[in-house]
């Protein structure tokens, strides 16, 4: 237990004056020089400072691969027994392979990190009285920050000023209801965190209002840092992670079985133990796609760089795969399908006539509102310049997504009014009269209500988004506005807004659906408004589900209903999240595009969370992918790039699990009848290194347009079946090579090793031109880099036996006639591989149709 005498007093208990002195701060903030010095002392404002290891240690970490460590240990034993040449060659090959892996992965990691920094969450900080936007990690104790609705709290802070400030601190307390915060110059005498109404805590978020606050604790000293491990649960494995794990287990099982078989056969044939052990170990290296982590990292990083050129920033690399796998996109309509240039078109009374009095009440509400302001508020304030200097604000009930309305209590010296605006159905439900503050009132009876609803429906059918305006007169000494005041209202009319459809949205919707991505619109707007927009975009409506219906459905019923609808109208953020989880339960790969304060849960729940650069901090922090342009066309480009990236990863995997495995199976089988090892350990490693070199340009390879037409998913069963179908073809030609070498060329051990080394490299490497496309390799053109590297590696392997390196590796120059026979065999092998590949895809297509 900590000693009470040494336990620091919670900062919210101290007075503002005491904190200002102890932190050597003031209302205008710190100077740049002082903040720099403090940052050096306190370190970055991060929960965990992921300090990068020095490059030397990062490089050495690549030797932690168990196979590499065993191989080096066995090489050392080999040197101790006098096999110096073989030992040195193994060391050289391992060193080259590890260096290659390190350089490629390091460069890819650096590129990905630079991209993530471009969309890092920023904080608004006062430095010497001037506002600056800085990364949250740059904050230090004593900084003064400015906070508005949608902002993440960047550190533990004490409030200097607060206006109608409501905060979501469910992260710390588990309480989902907004908590009101107020400045308290004298501090608050409580130890309880949830009672600290003058303090803000890192990781929580502002729902509404405005505040300035002084940073008291940063990074590892914050409250959330102390309980970070219990709060930050590991997210469920993504589809990409599940697929790669499943593939890894398949490779592990095959490798263990094959290596044990080879080692047992060599032992039964009484071959030297060390040589047999090194051969089995080298075989394991050849079987293991050890470049796969590097290929995945480099391919995803290159994909992220290409997406950045298309104005799509990837924060989590694996999200590229998830974006390519996405088969349903859930999106709001404002700003995505519409221009987000909302303007106030009309302000009408219940008779449908334009009314300045309705506009004045709407203006009063928007002008004095300090909570979560929307583009509708901006449109009201920009529509006209109304003098409200005679009015003063008394209090406010901020907007929330459950009530869907906002109220301000105002007074002009003659009367005190509660002015309310919000969703029409909610305002009308709470209204009992109709009229204006300076006019006669009449009961809102059934006949009048029918007229109002008819006007409402007519406006929505024309594509207007509506806010209802209402008011209520209260006593002159009424000091505060509370939710309970929003009753017995006087309805006065509608504010009608226009947000035109985007010209590019119709084309983008068609492109997404042509790419087999279903689009579902999740909106808080009404069905009539949304149907009008869909008609403008030429989007067929397959079905509509309303928020109130969602509340009546359990999860299974909701999942069933979602299959036939593409419009979800009048939905709250909670209902959006339920819909996304229901779609995932059906096995769909779900993307969610959101930019609002309460979109964070849905962004977390979706397989790929997508936001925009102009989104609030909470949404941007929760997203996996950030669009620098708020339009679906950019997102469609990202979907295609995700598919292209995943297809290139699959090329390496399919190549490694077919031709490469076929060669290794041949090697294992050859041990049964050959009086010597079919290939020396050093030769296997050299073969593996050259093969890896030929694969490096795969991330840059072209992808057939036809392969981009459908979502791409990691399918281990598909990989396994492809391996079992194409792998035997490679093995058949390996055994033909064995026959040719032994029966025609009467090869001894060294010539056999040489001939098969050259043949195995040629077949393993050149088959990429067959595997890389589902179509004809004569039509689908590879990238120049891949073509050049593949041909260069085959030439190096063919010429290697005649170079000074040939003899130390155990090679001898083969007769010229062998190369002619090899060329013929490789051509026949590639033709056979193409025929088997086509048979495999035809059978796959037939089984898919059935």
- Residues annotated as part of the active site: 332
Q: CA separation (Å) from 183 to 124, 177, 226, 768?
A: 19, 20, 25, 67
Residues 6+ apart with CB under 8 A from 233: none
**What is the token pair recorded at 644?**
């292209």
* Distance in angstroms (rounded) separating the CA atoms of residues 306 and 820: 43
Length of the chain: 850
For helices 84-117 and 292-309, angle between their N-to-C axes, nearest 10 degrees: 30
Contact 491, 436 (CB under 8 A): no
* Distance in angstroms (rounded) separating the CA atoms of residues 659 and 665: 10
* Distance in angstroms (rounded) separating the CA atoms of residues 346 and 495: 6
Backbone angles phi, psi at 186, to 5 degrees: -95, 0
Residue bearing tokens 């051969």:
279
Compute the C-alpha angle 835/255/645, nearest 5°: 55
**What is the token pair recorded at 184?**
């308290």
CA dihedral 499, 502, 503, 509 (to 10 degrees): -140
**Helix (H) / strand (E) containing 362:** helix 356-368
- Partners of 411 in the β-ladder: 392, 416
* Distance in angstroms (rounded) separating the CA atoms of residues 231 and 218: 18
3-state secondary structure of 391: coil
Instruction: Give me the numbers of helices (H) and strands (E) for the chain, helices first please.
Output: 32, 23
Residue from 369, 462, 469, 486 nearest 422 by CA: 469
E strands in 101-222: 122-127, 130-135, 144-148, 156-168, 179-181, 199-200, 205-217
Residue from 679, 599, 653 nearest 772 by CA: 653
Displacement of CA 167 from its chain's centroid (Å): 26
Contact 224, 47 (CB under 8 A): yes
């Amino acid at each position: 237990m900590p000693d009470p005498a040494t336990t620091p007093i919670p900062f919210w208990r101290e007075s503002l004056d005491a904190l200002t002195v102890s932190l050597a701060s003031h209302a205008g903030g710190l100077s740049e020089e002082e903040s720099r010095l403090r940052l050096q002392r306190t370190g970055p404002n991060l929960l965990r400072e992921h300090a990068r290891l020095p490059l030397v240690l990062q490089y050495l970490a690549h030797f932690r691969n168990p196979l590499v460590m065993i191989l080096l240990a066995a090489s050392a034993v080999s040197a101790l027994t006098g096999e110096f040449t073989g030992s040195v060659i193994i060391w050289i090959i391992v060193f080259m392979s590890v260096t290659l892996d390190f350089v490629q992965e390091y460069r890819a990691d650096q590129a990905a990190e630079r991209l993530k920094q471009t969309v890092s969450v920023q904080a608004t900080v006062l430095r010497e009285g001037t506002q600056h936007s800085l990364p949250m990690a740059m904050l230090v104790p004593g900084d003064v920050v400015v906070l508005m609705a949608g902002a993440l709290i960047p550190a533990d802070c004490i409030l200097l000023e607060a206006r109608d400030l409501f905060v979501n601190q469910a992260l710390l307390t588990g309480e989902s209801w907004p908590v009101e915060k107020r400045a308290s110059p004298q501090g608050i005498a409580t130890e309880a965190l949830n009672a600290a109404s003058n303090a803000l805590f890192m990781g929580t978020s502002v729902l509404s209002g405005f505040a300035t606050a002084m940073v008291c604790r940063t990074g590892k000293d914050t409250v959330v840092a102390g309980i970070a491990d219990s709060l930050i649960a590991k997210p469920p494995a993504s589809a990409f992670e599940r697929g790669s794990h499943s593939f890894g287990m398949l490779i592990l099982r095959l490798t263990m079985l094959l290596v044990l078989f080879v080692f047992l056969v060599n032992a039964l044939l009484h071959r030297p133990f060390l040589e047999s052990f090194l051969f089995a170990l080298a075989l394991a290296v050849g079987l293991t796609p050890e470049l796969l982590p590097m290929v995945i990292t480099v391919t995803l990083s290159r994909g992220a760089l290409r997406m950045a050129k298309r104005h799509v920033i990837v924060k989590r690399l694996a999200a590229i795969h998830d974006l390519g796998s996405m088969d349903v996109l859930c999106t709001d309509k404002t700003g995505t399908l519409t221009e987000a240039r909302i303007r106030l078109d009309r302000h009408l009374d219940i008779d449908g006539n334009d009314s300045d009095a309705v506009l004045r009440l709407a203006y009063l509400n928007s002008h004095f509102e300090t909570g979560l302001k929307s583009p509708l508020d901006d449109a009201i304030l920009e529509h006209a310049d109304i003098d409200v200097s005679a009015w003063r604000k008394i209090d406010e009930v901020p907007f929330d997504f459950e009530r869907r309305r906002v109220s301000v209590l105002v007074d002009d010296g003659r009367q005190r009014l509660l002015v309310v605006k919000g969703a029409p159905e909610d305002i009308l439900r709470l209204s009992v009269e109709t009229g204006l503050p300076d006019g006669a009132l009449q009961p809102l009876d059934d006949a009048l209500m029918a007229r109002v609803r008819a006007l409402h429906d007519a406006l929505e059918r024309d594509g207007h988004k509506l806010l209802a305006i209402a008011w209520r007169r209260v006593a002159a000494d009424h000091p505060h506005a509370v939710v309970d005041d929003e009753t017995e209202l006087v309805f006065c009319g509608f504010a009608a807004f226009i947000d035109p459809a985007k010209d590019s949205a119709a084309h983008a919707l068609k492109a997404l659906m042509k790419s087999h991505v279903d689009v579902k619109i999740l909106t808080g707007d009404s069905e009539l408004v949304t149907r009008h927009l869909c008609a403008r975009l030429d989007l067929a409506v397959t079905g509509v589900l309303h928020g109130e219906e969602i509340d009546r459905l359990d999860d299974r019923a909701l999942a069933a209903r979602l299959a036939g609808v593409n419009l979800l109208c009048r939905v709250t953020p909670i209902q959006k999240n339920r819909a996304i989880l229901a779609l995932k339960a059906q096995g769909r790969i779900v993307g969610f595009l959101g930019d609002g304060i309460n979109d964070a849960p849905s962004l977390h729940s979706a397989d790929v969370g997508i936001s925009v650069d102009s989104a609030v901090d909470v949404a941007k922090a929760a997203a996996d992918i950030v669009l620098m342009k708020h339009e679906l066309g950019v997102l469609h480009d990202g979907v295609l790039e995700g598919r292209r990236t995943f297809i290139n990863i699959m090329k390496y995997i399919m190549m490694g699990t077919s031709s490469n495995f076929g060669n290794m199976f041949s090697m294992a089988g050859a041990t049964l009848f050959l009086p010597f090892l079919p290939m020396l350990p050093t030769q296997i490693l050299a073969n593996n290194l050259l093969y890896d070199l030929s694969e490096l340009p795969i991330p840059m390879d072209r992808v057939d347009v036809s392969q981009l037409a459908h979502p791409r998913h990691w399918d281990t069963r598909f990989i396994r079946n492809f391996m079992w179908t194409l792998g035997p073809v490679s093995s058949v030609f390996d055994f033909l090579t064995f026959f040719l070498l032994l029966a025609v060329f009467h090869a001894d051990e060294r010539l056999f090793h040489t001939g098969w080394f050259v043949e195995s490299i040629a077949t393993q490497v050149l088959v990429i031109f067959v595997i890389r496309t589902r179509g004809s390799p004569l039509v689908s053109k590879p990238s120049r880099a891949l073509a050049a590297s593949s041909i260069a590696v085959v030439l190096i392997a063919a010429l290697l036996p005649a170079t000074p390196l040939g003899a130390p590796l155990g090679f001898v120059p083969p007769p010229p006639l062998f190369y002619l026979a090899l060329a013929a065999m490789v051509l026949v092998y590639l033709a056979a591989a193409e025929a088997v590949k086509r048979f495999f895809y035809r059978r796959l297509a037939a089984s898919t149709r059935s």
